[in-house]
Chains A and B, each alone.
Chain A
Amino acid sequence: MYYKLPKIDYYRPKTLDEAIRLLREIDNSRVIAGGTDLLVDMKTSRVRVRALVDISSIPDLRGIEDLGRTIRIGAATRLQELIESNVVSQNLPLLKAAVESMGSWQIRNMATIGGNLCNASPAADTAPPLLAYDAEFVVIGSEGLRVIPSTKFFVGYRKTALNPCEILKEILVKKSEWSGWSYVKLGRRGGFTLSVVAVAVLAKVIDGVVYDVRIALNSVAPVPIRAYKAEEVVRGKRVSWSLIEEAANTVAGEVTPIDDVRSTSWYRREMSYQLAKDALAKALGVA
């Protein structure tokens, strides 16, 4: 298929300062990381830009580090690196499970975690786990650094809290002991596909009592969401099937899905219930 991208200027800065300067100085410029979202959008003219600033070779944006109490993930870290990282599998198994469900090996070797978040698709798969972990997003612009809680990052359909010319620098997750976790994703085929609904659950169960729980979903609202009401239902209670069903019902009441080519809103709501049940059962250790 002879399908060239429109002509654009391309920059590959070596430092964050330079990247920010380029974004500020060039009209209609845009960050590119792995390009697995952006290039597709440019080919179909959903996005039209004049210049691309490739941030994938800025050292400050790469890498996964265990900082003691916190895990730091550079925004331009590739998804496959997350899967292969010991730090991630030991500390953030829920994130690993979500990333394993994404794209194909080829895509994961290009795609970055920052790209997935900044693209802000309602179906983004790294969002539910990071919402559940209560991660913090460090962003940088000409005014300097600021920290945005993950729960404040997605502000609307494909919209983030980033100001123009700001770059997502890194993701910070505080370490915490979770007794169980689960990522359940339903797509239109067995793999290599966007979700119809996905549910992430983290749980801390001590002696059969839920000490803490986090529930997050994608594809059921304009942005990836936390199911706070359902969390309230579960928190502090003794684990039981009826509790799980009550929580799953609450999840189904909290979501605001739409009809699109992937699914009807009816099916999404139904699946929010079914998948929440599955995810809770596994995370609470009753499956």
Chain B
Amino acid sequence: MIVVEDPRTLIRRWLSAESCIVVGKSIERSDSLEKALGRARFVEDYLEEGYLFARLALAKAPHARIKKIDYSKALEDPKVLRVFTYRDIPGENQVGYAVPDQPLLAEGKVRYYGEAVAVVVGKDPDSVNSAVENVFLEIEPLPALFDPLEAMERGDILIHESLGSNIAFRTKVRKGDVEEGFSKADVVVENTYRTHHQEHVYLEPEAALAIPDLENRMTVIATIQYPHLGQKIVSKVLGLPSSYIKIIAPYIGGGFGGKDDEGPLVAARAALAAYHLRRPVLLYYTREDSIQTHPKREATVIKYKSGASKDGKLTAIEVTIIHDSGAYANRGPFILWRATMHASGPYYVPNAKVDGYCVYTNKVPQGSFRGFGNPSVQFAAESQMDQLAEKLGLDPVEFRLNNMLRVGSDTITGQVLTSSVGIHEALKKLSAVSNWRVKRLEYSERRTGRTRRGIGVAVAWHGNSTSRAVPDWSNSYIHISRDGSVNVYTGIVEMGQGSPSSSHRQLVSEILGCPIDKVKVVFGTTDAPDTGATHASRGTSVGAIGIVVAAGRIRSRLESFLSEYYNVQREEIKISDGVVIVGNKIKMSWEELVALAYSKGVDLSATGYFFLPKGTFDDDAGRGFAYPAFSFIAIIVEVEVDIYTGRVKVLEVHPALAIGRVINPDAVKTQVEGAIIQGIGYTLMEKLVFADDGRIVNDNLTDYVIPTSHETPVIRNAIFVEDVWDYGPFGAKGVGEMAFIPMPAAIANAVSHALGVRITELPLTPEKVYSITKQLVG
């Protein structure tokens, strides 16, 4: 029997696996006990006696030319050792991810209040804390721009002069002919939607501990979502080869995308200090530093026009998406691409014209956050769908089902979906299970009294992997020791989502056939092969393809060895849950099999690289391949609105997901629940308040409120439609972001249903809702 090493063959083999031992089960996470007992270690827990402390000095002006950075007063304290600025960077200061517009430390200009200017290092936190306040910027103030619509038009004030405009980036999608589409429409709805920033509020603010060694190598333990990107940035900043940089992401106290943007920067700033001082340095952000400086969910203005015909079919959409990018593009172009690609919602639309603009302002930059540009555009798209349905006299669910993408449909970019489109079935089931029709009617008829009930629906789609043809891959390395224990090396990090501590272990145990407690995952390290980032819901969906390939290779070697050794067919070999059966006579344990394999020279180490096949996208034409697969979700939300105070309470949430194979139902459930609560916070209460100088006023958790258990509604068990993805591990697609994406739209639709009034601007704070319901009070 030949050994199978080909990734596609291996992926396909496990895609169709049926009776599984651990896959598809709610296996307990390996990190739950450590975390419950407080033993799990986070960056700060690696601090040792004698290490140095560092904090950032932040800019206190929104837009200014830097004349001088004066830190002489900070250095008066003998315990303060050094203050590093852009001048001290041995390599490159330029760290922009998408376009080269962003310095690691401000150089020449300051472009937002809170921008990192210097790294202050001292022997104890007290001295560093006071020294930070003694770093002064001598500046020439420049006029600042805060409104993206204004910034787009202004040519006289330029945030990045060399660009000649404040538009950092543009995107577009074109399909059919929108003029013709609208001419066929019997109803047209046109609105402008506005969405706001969101702060991540991860429990653990950013930190990095940089430890230099005698050979000029640097190890950085950091709050980071992509160790290999950190390695690249640190190497660039220090001017050292990547091979000299090692990044470790220990347990991370939440990321939600924020540590994908800020992680490499915090690592590089700590490394810069350690590099010069030749001593370990812990750089930590206070909560206030964190909120002031790190990128946020984008604020948007979305102009949306859509039309449908009397028979309930969408005929055209025309959408303009404007992202307030803040001072730097950061990941803005990628976020904008995702918003642009998803502008239609998961519907078949024959004619589409979508334009995106990423616009600089003098505010904190936009950045990665669960949903990545998609929640705002789905909010617009799904608000439109409800209004079209109303004009057509159709039930919102019915209207959506009428237009839903199916296998064989083409999306607005012209990509034909060949498989894995379970959303139609998911919404149908959800509507039945949630008693949608009955409640929708009941609440419509009861629009009287102080508290009004409403029920709303929203669906969403989210492309797996990066947009367009941007390369994406998976990788891992697996090694089996002589005693049968297994090490899995992955760059995927553990930031609460649990992929390395649950699904990765399950996949390896299932494929190798070893007991799950034999599997130890070494995660979040550049000692593993580059696995890509832990973002975009990819920790399992894409991140673990490499694990399937590596484990599949070793399994195949073991089977091939057994078949030759005992002279049997593959079908006669069973390796499952630690028990090995060959033919009908031979039975041995997993450990015995490993010992035997070692003694006969079987290679029990393997890597598993897989490069995702993609099509091409023509940026100029706005057409082509968008994503290798889409995850889907439908959500039905019930709310109660107190019209005397404007308070909205989410009572119940019913989710239905089409996310391919579910590897660990409990892990999925926790992601869904967390995203729903985070979505409620974003939609109902979270809001950054900016002062006239661009400073974030509510940079602490007294003033920036996030939801608590009081706001947590009844969350029904999710309905799953297992629409397997050809390349996903056992057919899994991404889930981490999914439940966030439709929440703003679902809540807004439910509130509109309760009140009979449409609100097009988020968040739905009591104050905003009351400004509408006051008229209803009479």
Contact = CB atoms under 8 A, between A and B. Distances in A.
Contacts of A196: 766
A164 interface: no
Nearest to A190: B710
Nearest to A263: B767
Interface string A170-210: 00000000000000001011111110100000000000000
Nearest to A197: B645
A263 B645 CA distance: 13
Contacts of B770: 267, 270
Nearest to A2: B284
Interface string B272-306: 00000000001011111000000000000000000
Contact of A274 (B47, B645, B700): B645
B47 A271 contact: no
A189 B650 CA distance: 12
Interface residues of B, number: 36
A263 B44 CA distance: 36
A250 to B, nearest CB: 18
Contacts of A262: 703
A229 B7 CA distance: 80
Contacts of A188: 685, 705, 765-766
Nearest to A188: B705
A188 B689 CA distance: 14
A109 to B, nearest CB: 17
Contacts of B204: 1
A191 B697 contact: no
A4 interface: yes
A6 interface: yes
B126 A189 contact: no
B472 interface: no
Interface string A126-141: 0000000000000000
B129 A2 contact: no
B496 interface: no
B708 interface: yes
A40 interface: yes
Contacts of A1: 44, 204-205, 207, 284-287
A238 to B, nearest CB: 24
Contacts of B598: none
B124 to A, nearest CB: 8
B617 interface: no
A261 B685 CA distance: 12
Contact residues of A: prevailing secondary structure: loop
Contacts of B47: 2
Interface in B103-148: 125-126, 129
Given A2-B47, A188-B705, A190-B711, A274 B644 contact: yes
A7 B644 CA distance: 49
Given A1-B44, A261-B689, A6 B126 contact: yes
Contacts of A57: none
A240 interface: no
Interface in B754-778: 765-767, 770, 774
B19 interface: no
Contact of B766 (A2, A3, A186): A186
Given A2-B207, A264-B767, A274-B644, A7 B126 contact: yes
A74 to B, nearest CB: 27
B64 to A, nearest CB: 24
A191 B647 CA distance: 13
B591 to A, nearest CB: 44
A262 B53 CA distance: 35
B52 to A, nearest CB: 12
Contact of B53 (A2, A193, A270, A271): A2
Given A2-B282, A4-B125, A261-B703, A191 B698 contact: no
A106 interface: no
6 contacts: A1-B205, A2-B44, A4-B126, A262-B703, A267-B767, A278-B644
Which 9 residue pairs across A and B have the least CB separation, nearest first?
Answer: A190-B710, A191-B710, A2-B284, A267-B767, A4-B125, A261-B703, A274-B644, A188-B705, A261-B698
Interface of A: 1-4, 6-7, 40, 44, 186, 188-194, 196, 261-264, 267, 270-271, 274-275, 277-278
